[in-house]
Amino acid sequence: MNLLGKLESLGFPRARAVRGLHYTGNTTVEDAVNWLIDHENDADIDQMPLVVINLDVESPQPNDITEAIKLKEQELRDRVCMKNRDEEKKLEREREKERIRAGKALLEAKRIAEENERKRLLALRKAEKEEEKRAREKVLKKLDLDKLERKQALGLPLENRAAKPPLPSIQEEKSSLPVKSITKADHMRECLRSLKLAYKDDNAKVKKAFQTLLIYVGNVARSPDEEKFRKIRLSNRKFQERVGSLKGGIKFLELCGFERSEGDEFLVFPRDKVDVQSLNTAGSMLKSALTNPYFGLLEKMKED
């Protein structure tokens, strides 16, 4: 029992300590420790051995723990510590692999988002170029019609009459155009066109006005529940400089949905009247007015 107590104090389970003492003949703690180290991987190492107990046998007197036993004890502790460190390193490697996987997934998602944005911008530029091309073609056609009309009025000979079919007169072209109903979007476009023509000698003022209108419209479209974006003080100095004092500036905001309130002191956009699709259309028109040098030119030609 003395030897058993010492083995248990070294950290061995009771069944394992009994087994070590049994198979070493209950001699010394050192022998039992050596046996346990050699058989620590046995399947039945933690099972209590079944033996016949001889009550007449007296246990030998225990010896003092020698330096070798202390070394074995330290070796066992080192093995346990090493095993724990190996398990911790394994867990750390798994966590690092998971971080790398998550990082790769994030980079891939970012790449896909950037690729989609690039495609969207390319499509937008292509549409703008096509619109500019159509505008240039109509301008050139208009110039050719004007040139032909002047020559006809002056009685001058026409160039390449045999090679080219006679161009229709302006009146014939106007009469052949289909009549379409005027929509809210048409009123918005006309308002912007009028503003641009009214201040054609001050391009910086027109650009600043369009940028400011785009901010107002964009804020409401993105955050329709924010009251501060749906209310504009008409007496605000910056608002008057950039939009309020310009012909058509306030009218465009009213076409978007803003209404005068509180004795014409504010422009307010009622929450229940917010139409995000209509605001997006207005925003697209403003962007086109800012970037397209031919914006509004065709409408002016049609009026002329």
Distance CA 153, CA 26 (A): 134
- Domain boundaries of the chain, sorted by first residue: 1-48, 63-152, 184-291
Distances (CA, A) of 252 to 166, 192, 196, 210, 302: 42, 7, 12, 10, 22
Do residues 8 and 17 touch, judged by C-beta distance below 8 A? yes
**Sheet containing strand 266-268, strands side by side:** 231-233, 266-268, 259-261
Amino acid identity for residue 244 in this structure: G
> How far out from the chain centre does Cα 31 lie?
69
CATH placement of domain 184-291: 1.20.58.2190
Amino acid identity for residue 132 in this structure: E
Residues 6+ apart with CB under 8 A from 185: 281, 285
Distance CA 44, CA 127 (A): 80
pLDDT tens, residue order, the chain (304 aa): 898 898 889 888 888 889 888 888 888 988 888 988 988 888 888 888 876 666 555 555 555 567 888 888 888 999 999 989 999 999 999 999 999 999 999 999 999 999 998 898 888 888 888 888 889 898 998 888 888 877 777 666 665 544 445 545 444 444 444 444 578 888 888 899 888 888 888 889 889 999 999 999 999 999 999 999 999 999 999 999 999 889 888 999 999 999 998 778 899 999 998 999 989 999 998 998 888 877 766 554 444 4
CATH of the domain spanning 1-48, picked from 3.40.50.2000, 1.10.1060.10, 1.10.8.10, 2.30.40.10: 1.10.8.10
Do residues 29 and 62 touch, judged by C-beta distance below 8 A? yes
pTM of the full structure: 0.41
